């Protein structure tokens, strides 16, 4: 069977585990979904092209890399965190201007200028004027609007009571109905104008301000990575991947650049005459280890199989959500296959043999 073999190197990478938050831990090799997604992107595919992949490789070492994590609070807080103005208030991102920073854990006030570090005086004054306007509108509603609305409410009730006892065909009834309609329209006009003013003058400008907190977190980063990928798919897809492989710029984070060492078609076989030991770590179908088609190393009589993972492969959309197909695999090293092994292929084309487990 013909497959596409790709050899890659990376100086560093983080293949993030989805469930990690404070310390963004990494898988030891890129998951199937990461590789498949990167290949689809390199080829410009918009729809999924079915493929099976064997992933193996090694890395030299691992270190932790610090980064600043930004967490936006649910509302603007006057006494804590960092006050910022967003470039785009419909999207919380790093596109913002810092306004001021609270110094103490409590007792601060951006509005009153208590124990804060001012970063942008102009934006801070804009924030303060909005807070003043909020108070002024609140007072105006209380002293003027609420009183007017109370009179309107009372007048509506009076007119409604007169209608109940009136003759629908009489001129007086029609005058009352007309007046009631005018009162309701006045009520609606006042509410609409007040709402429009609050939206344009307060709500929209204020929505551009946000509070955030920062914390120091870490990436686990692998160093000096070597990857060997074997890909099985239809002929056209494999040709597309080979032709576009140099469009593959990164694997993992956007800054985890790749260097393509080789991309070639090779023949793999499903039978061997003697045992083959892998020189690389790999994701192996768990059932192959369980059925002893793959033999893992042992230490002092205790099985040292490896680490079990449920890795994402491809997904379907259900109820507007991604539902991934999961693969149960074992990440292991120093493993071997023998002449009776089933469910495996072997790449003997080159200076070293590869055990190929397509998932």
What is the pTM (predicted TM-score) of this model?
0.71
pLDDT digits (tens, 9 = 90+) for 125-162: 999 999 999 999 999 999 999 999 999 999 999 988 88
* Distance between CA atoms of residues 78 and 119, nearest Å: 15
Residue 218 and residue 14 in contact, taking contact as beta carbons nearer than 8 Å: no
pLDDT digits (tens, 9 = 90+) for 192-232: 999 999 999 999 999 999 999 988 889 999 999 999 999 99
* Distance between CA atoms of residues 359 and 357, nearest Å: 6
- Tell me the range of 80-94, 229-243, 333-347 where mean pLDDT is highest: 229-243
* Distance between CA atoms of residues 98 and 331, nearest Å: 45
Q: Give the DSSP letter string of 249-310.
A: -BSSSTT-B-EEEEEEEEEEES--SS-EE-SSEEEEEHHHHHTTSEE--EETTEE---EEEE
* Distance between CA atoms of residues 311 and 35, nearest Å: 12
Q: Give the DSSP letter string of 204-253.
A: HHHTTEEEEEEEEEEEEEEEEEEEEEEEE--HHHHHHHHHHGGG--BSSS
Domain 2-67+217-356, CATH class in plain words: alpha beta
* Distance between CA atoms of residues 177 and 163, nearest Å: 7
* Distance between CA atoms of residues 228 and 5, nearest Å: 7
pLDDT > 70? residue 299: no
pLDDT score at 318: 83
Average pLDDT over every residue of 338-355:
90
Q: Give the DSSP letter string of 160-184.
A: HHHHHHS-TTSHHHHHHHHHHHHHH
For the chain, give the mean pLDDT.
Answer: 91
Average pLDDT over every residue of 55-66:
95
Residue 7 buriedness (CB in 10 A; 0-12 / 13-18 / 19+): middle
| Of 126 and 302, the one with more pLDDT | 126
| Of 91 and 15, the one with more pLDDT | 15
pLDDT > 60? residue 303: no
Residue 246 buriedness (CB in 10 A; 0-12 / 13-18 / 19+): exposed
Residue 353 and residue 346 in contact, taking contact as beta carbons nearer than 8 Å: yes
28 closest CA partner among 18, 16, 20: 16
320 φ/ψ sector (left φ>0, alpha ψ -120 to 50, else beta)? left
pLDDT band of 91, cuts 50, 70, 90: low
Q: Give the start-to-end residue ranges of the domains of the chain.
A: 2-67+217-356, 122-207
């Amino acid at each position: 069977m013909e497959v596409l073999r790709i050899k890659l190197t990376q100086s560093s990478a983080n293949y993030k585990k989805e469930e990690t938050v404070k310390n963004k831990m990494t898988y030891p090799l890129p998951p199937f979904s990461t590789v498949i997604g990167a290949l689809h992107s390199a080829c410009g595919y918009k729809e999924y092209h079915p493929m099976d992949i064997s992933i193996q490789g090694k890395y030299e070492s691992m270190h932790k890399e610090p980064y600043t994590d930004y967490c936006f609070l649910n509302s603007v807080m006057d006494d804590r965190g960092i006050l910022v103005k967003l470039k785009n208030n419909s999207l919380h991102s790093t596109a913002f201007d810092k306004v001021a920073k609270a110094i103490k854990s409590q007792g601060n006030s951006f509005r009153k200028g208590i124990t804060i570090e001012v970063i942008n005086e102009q934006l801070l004054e804009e924030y303060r004027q909005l807070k003043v306007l909020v108070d002024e509108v609140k007072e105006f509603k209380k002293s003027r609007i609420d009183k007017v609305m109370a009179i309107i409410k009372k007048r509506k009730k009076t007119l409604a009571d007169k209608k109940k006892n009136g003759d629908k065909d009489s001129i007086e009834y029609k005058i009352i109905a007309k007046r009631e309609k005018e009162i309701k329209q006045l009520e609606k006009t006042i509410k609409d104008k007040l709402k429009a003013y609050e939206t344009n003058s307060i709500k929209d400008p204020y929505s551009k301000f946000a509070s955030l907190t920062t914390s120091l977190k870490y990436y686990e980063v692998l160093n000096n990575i070597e990857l060997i990928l074997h890909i099985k798919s239809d002929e056209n897809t494999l040709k597309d991947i080979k032709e576009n492989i140099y469009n593959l710029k990164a694997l993992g984070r956007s800054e985890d650049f790749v260097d393509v060492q080789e991309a070639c078609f090779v023949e793999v076989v499903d039978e061997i005459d003697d045992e083959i030991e892998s020189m690389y770590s790999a994701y192996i179908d768990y059932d192959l280890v369980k059925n002893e088609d793959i033999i893992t190393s042992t230490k002092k009589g205790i099985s040292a199989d490896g680490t079990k993972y449920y890795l994402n492969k491809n997904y379907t959309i259900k109820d507007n959500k991604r539902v991934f197909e999961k693969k149960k695999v074992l990440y292991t090293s120093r493993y071997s296959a023998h002449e009776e092994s089933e469910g495996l292929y072997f790449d003997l084309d080159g200076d070293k043999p590869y055990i190929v487990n397509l998932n």
